Amino acid sequence: MVMKLKLACCLLLLSLAANCALAEAALEPIPFSFDSAPYLPHEECFLPDQAGYHDDSIDIRIEKSRAYDTDYMAVYIRIADVSQIRCGLAADYPSQKTATVLTMANRFNGVLTINGDYFNYHNQGIVVRNGEQLRFRPTPLRDTLVIDDKGDFTILPQTSKEDYEALGKNVVHAFCFGPWLVKDGVAITNEQIQDSEANVGKNKHTQRLALCQLDTLSYMVVCTEGPSGGDGSEGLTIEQLANLCRDLGAKNAYNLDGGNSAAVILNGEKLNNVNNTKRRMVGDCIYFCTLVP
């Protein structure tokens, strides 16, 4: 009987190792491009109950809580290489064709996929995607989030050409929605928010989505619910979102498109605003992929 139990335990451990660890996989960076990531997520590495994902190259953990009378999720992401942060377009720039974030998640093989910054529906700002500069029209009307080739975030409030060119970094992505929320651990003030030209309903209680950096190759997505979700959530203002991101440990945080555009996709499911049947079509997405073949 004891031998049978030992054998069963050994078989179980071997099965878990094979299914979840994906041990000894060669983790090579993948070239940036607008094509799909080369490797599909591994079904056996998704955690039960939509709690996240884990393989040798990426770890995702989802925590849900409530603040400001609003439900929110904090998605913690740790990756092995900056090439795992990628952007996808619904169609080649400058097309304004759209798709759901779920459609793009499936197309680009994202482990975790979120909506982008709506850049193809205006003509302002600095836009870099997957190492390719698509637009260079810096303007003080827009704050810029830069992700460099080390995976580090730099916030450029009211971006000028001089500020951007002074970075001296290899830029992988640059986003032009905003406003910035947390810069070097300090949250934006209400006065700064009111001075911002970003047309994001800054004082409105609504769904919000923020992309944050916690540490080296360590990130967080904060997605809040709103009045349209039917769960009793009030939604957050920009000031509340900034304070929430700071309190959750964000070193730098940046506001992305919200409202019905806000979407968090994991394992083929939209995790936020699930009671709302509207599925906003958008032009771009941000996704995190695996390096494990």
| pLDDT tens-digit readout, 49-76 | 999 999 999 999 999 999 999 999 999 9
What is the pTM (predicted TM-score) of this model?
Answer: 0.90
Structure confidence at residue 25 as a pLDDT band (50, 70, 90): low
Q: What is the mean pLDDT of residues 207-233?
A: 94
> Is the model's pLDDT at 22 over the cut of 50?
no
> Is the model's pLDDT at 172 over the cut of 80?
yes
Q: What is the mean pLDDT of residues 188-213?
A: 92
Q: Report d(CA 236, CA 209) in Å as an integer.
A: 10
| pLDDT tens-digit readout, 138-171 | 999 999 999 999 999 999 999 999 999 999 889 9
- Taking a C-beta distance cutoff of 8 angstroms, is the pair 45, 38 a contact? no
Q: Report d(CA 223, CA 271) in Å as an integer.
A: 10
pLDDT at position 197: 79
Q: Report d(CA 95, CA 121) in Å as an integer.
A: 9
Q: What is the mean pLDDT of residues 170-176?
A: 97
Strand order in the sheet with 269-270: 85-89, 284-288, 112-115, 264-266, 269-270
Residue 158 phi, psi (nearest 5): 45, 65
CA angle 175, 84, 179 (to 5 degrees): 20
Full DSSP string of 82-148: GGGEEEEESSSTT----B-HHHHHHHHT-SEEEE---GGGS--EEEEETTEEEEEE--TTS-EEEEE
Structure tokens at 54: 């884990």
User: Distance of CA 36 to CAs 33, 127, 178, Å?
Assistant: 8, 20, 27
- Range in 100-104, 121-125, 209-213, 239-243 the model is least confident about: 121-125
